[in-house]
Structure 1
Amino acid sequence: MELRHLQHFVAVAEDQHFTRAAERLLVSQSGLSASIRALEKELGTPLFVRTTRRVTLTEAGRALLGEAERVLAQVRSAHEAVAAVQGVLRGTLSLGTEQCIAGVPVAGLLAAFRRRHPDVEIRLRQAGSGELADEVAAGRLDLAFAYRIREDTDQLRSVPLAGEPMTVLCHPGHRLATGPAALTPHDLADEVFVDFHPDWGPRRVTDAAFARAGVRRTVSLEVNDVHGLLDLIDENLGVAVVPRHFRHKRASLTSLPLKDSPETAYETVALLPPAAAASPAARALMALLETGSG
């Protein structure tokens, strides 16, 4: 099994199309098809279901994809480690992050990283914490800044960065704005909620807090961006439970602490592969963060 076969396989799996994958890889479509056929012959099973419009993974293809991505990530890390020993950090830094996480100035951190390591290409994507954890574990991301959602595994570890309590945001004309100085989930039982997708860290924290309190909560207004959430609250269309630093993003809104238990806190972590598998770029970024150079 050759590395190029795995590279070709992963590209076709990502694009679900031979022509697009060939164009991205700068190879001929016939050469790409031959590479996939050679891999299928070696493994003794089809990896794709081919149609006139797209290709999809077979069960065997899905099983291979995660392993192929991990192998390719390890190969990239090996190349980058050799370059680092030679005194030059090269390659790619693939970073994931949730929006507006606490304690990590992502833009400033990446700017400082680029100044120190101009030969490293930076790639950034935003997603929910669950998806980011899966991407790091699979080797598709070097690291991610997210909410702690699971215990460490052989493929994933969490480095604590910051923590903060949750707060209730509402319109200043809302009945809660003149109510108790701090609120419990029971105080919010009949409210209309604005919240993020269930994969986002703040949503996970809030869902868990209400479940512990035995309070049923319905999210009527679901968004995938912070500004959309703040706009809906600003129009008095609902309330939200969010990490405390959100209150500084819209001064016109009223912020009230949420009383629950010590578990009701948003903990920001860096999600990384095992220390031995971390890329030189990921280690360099974490070193910058730890020294406050961002």
Structure 2
Amino acid sequence: MELRHLQHFVAVAEDQHFTRAAERLMVSQSGLSASIRALERELQTPLFVRTTRRVTLTPAGRALLGEAERVLAQVRAAHEAVAAVQGVLRGMLTLGTEQCIAGVNVARLLAAFRHRHPDVEICLRQAGTGALAEEVAAGRLDLAFAVRTPEDAEQLRYVPLTDEPMTALCHPTHRLAAAGAPVTPQELGGEVFVDFHPDWGPRRATDAAFARAGVRRAVALEVNDVHSLLDLLDENLGIAVVPHHFRHKRPSLTALPLKGVGGSGYETVALLPPRDATSPAARALMALLDAEVADAPSCDGA
């Protein structure tokens, strides 16, 4: 089994199309097809179901995909490790992050990294904590800035960034704003909630806080970005429970401390693979975070 066969296989699996994969790899379509057929012959099983419009993975293909991605990630890490020993950091840094993550200014950090290591290509992906944790564990991301996920503790390392309480946000004319006092999950149980997709860290933190308090709630308005959530609150269409630093993003809204949730909070971390699998680029980024921008403001502006 040759590495190029695995590279070709992963590209077709990602693009679900031979022509697009061939264009991205800058190889002929006939050469790509021959490479996939050679891999299927070696494994003695079809890896793709081919139609005139797209290709999809067979069960065997799905089984191979994760292993192929891990092998290619290890090969890339080996090349980068050798370059690092020679005093040159090059290759690629693949980074994931949640939006408006607390404890790190991602844009500033990446700008400083690019200045220090111009030969490293930066690839950034924004997604929810659950997806990011899976990507780091599978070797598709070097590291990610996300929210702590205890269920992945055996596969990932955590470097703490910050820990903050959750806060209720509402329109200034809402009944809760008039009271102006801290609120409990029990007092919010019957409210209409605006919240993020269940995979996002703030949603996970809020769900955990209400579960700990034994309170059921219904999310009527579900969004995938911070500003849409704030816009809905601005129109008094519901309330939200969000990380404390979100209150700075829309001063017109009323922020009320959330109490009665025990240890539930919003803990942001850097998610990394085990130390022996951490790429030189990821180690360099974390060293830069520790040395230069650990105290950088997070996404507090509008």
Question: TM-score, normalised to structure 2's length?
Answer: 0.95
What SS does the corresponding residue of 1:41 show, helix, strand or coil? helix
What's the offset of the Cα at 1:44? 1.1
Q: CA deviation at 1:150?
A: 2.5
Given that 1:152 and 1:158 are in contact with CA atoms closer than 8 Å, whether structure 2 keeps it comes out as no
Confirm or deny: 8 A CA contact 2:164 2:265 kept in the other structure.
yes
The DSSP-based 3-state class of the residue aligned with 1:268 is strand
2:69 is matched with 69
Does 80-89 or 257-266 show the bigger shift?
Answer: 257-266
Residue deviations 1:89-124, cap 9 Å, x none? 111111100011111111111111011011111111
**Distance across 2 between alignment mates of 1:163 and 1:121:** 31
Matches within 5 A, 1:97-246: 97-153=97-153, 155-179=155-179, 181-246=181-246
The superposition leaves residues 24-45 of structure 1 with CA deviations (integer Å, 9 ceiling, x where unpaired) of 0000111101111111111111
Deviation of residue 180 (structure 1)?
Answer: 5.3
Q: Distance in 1 between matches of 2:24 and 2:214?
A: 51
Confirm whether residue 59 of structure 1 aligns to residue 59 of structure 2: yes
Q: Match of 2:251, SS?
A: coil
SS at match of 1:209: helix
Determine the C-alpha separation between the residues in 1 that align with 2:274 and 2:71.
14
**CA offset digits 1:165-213 (Å, max 9, x no partner):** 0000111111100225211111111111110000011111111221222
Aligned equivalents of 2:241, 2:260: Cα separation in 1 = 12
- Structure 2: distance between partners of 1:107 and 1:100: 10
5 Å matches for 1:261-276? Answer: 261-276=261-276
Unaligned runs of 5+ in 2: 297-302
Post-superposition, which runs of at least 4 consecutive aligned residues in structure 1 deviate over 6 A? Answer: none
Question: How far off its partner does 1:260 sit?
Answer: 2.4
Q: Which residue is equivalent to 1:20? A: 20
More off after superposition, 218-227 vs 171-180:
171-180
Q: Quote the residue 2:299 is aligned against.
A: none
Q: Measure, in 1, the Cα distance between the counterparts of 2:15 and 2:178.
A: 53
Query: Alignment partner of 1:40: what SS?
Result: helix
In the alignment, the residues of structure 2 paired with residue 204 and residue 154 of structure 1 have an alpha-carbon distance, to the nearest angstrom, of 19
Contact 2:47 2:57 in 1 (8 A): yes
Q: Which moved more, 1:169-178 or 1:150-159?
A: 150-159
Please say if residues 163 and 266 of structure 1, whose CA atoms lie closer than 8 Å, have aligned partners that are also in contact: yes
CA drift of 1:292 comes to 2.9
**2:184 partner amino acid:** T
Question: TM-score scaled by structure 1?
Answer: 0.97
Contact 2:48–2:58 at 8 Å: present in 1 too?
A: yes
Asked if 1:78 is matched to 2:78, the reply is yes
Q: Please give the secondary structure, in 2, of the residue aligned with 1:263.
A: coil
Deviation at 1:242, TM superposition (A): 0.4
- Tell me what 1:36 maps to: 36
> What is the aligned partner in structure 1 of residue 300 from structure 2?
none
Alignment RMSD (CA, Å)? 1.2
The offset of 1:87, in angstroms, is 1.2
Sequence identity (%):
81
User: Is there any run of 5+ residues in structure 1 with no aligned partner, and where?
Assistant: none
Contact 2:162-2:269 at 8 Å conserved across structures: yes
Native 8 Å contact 1:154 1:274 kept in 2: no
- Distance (whole Å) between structure 1 residues aligned to residue 292 and residue 89 of structure 2: 20
Task: State the Cα distance separating 1:154 from its structure 2 match.
Answer: 5.3
Structure 1 match to 2:287: 287
Per the TM alignment, residue 153 of structure 1 is displaced from its structure 2 partner at its CA by: 4.9
Distance 1:102 1:212 in 2: 23
* Aligned counterparts of 2:170 and 2:260: Cα–Cα separation in 1: 18
For residue 254 of structure 1, report the CA deviation from its aligned partner: 0.6
Partner of 1:94: 94
**Structure 1 CA distance, aligned partners of 2:151 and 2:161?**
16
Partner Cα distance (2:30, 2:154) in 1? 38
Q: Aligned pair count?
A: 294
The one-letter amino acid paired with 1:104 is: V
Offset from partner CA, 1:259-278 (integer Å, 9 cap, x none): 12333101101111111111
Q: Distance in 2 between matches of 1:72 and 1:9?
A: 11
Q: 1:153 to 1:3 in 2, by over 3 A?
A: farther
